[in-house]
Structure 1
Amino acid sequence: MEGNAYKFELAENEKDKPPVVNFSLAVDSTPSEIEDRHPSSAK
Structure 2
Amino acid sequence: MRASGENKALIVERIIAIRYLVNVIQTVIGKGAGDRVRKDN
Give the TM-score category using the shorter length: 0.3 to 0.5
Where is the helix percentage greater, Structure 1 or Structure 2? 1
Provide TM-score, normalisation by structure 1: 0.42
Between 1 and 2, higher relative CO (CA 8 Å, sep ≥ 6) is seen in 2
Task: Tell me the TM-score normalised to structure 2 length.
Answer: 0.44
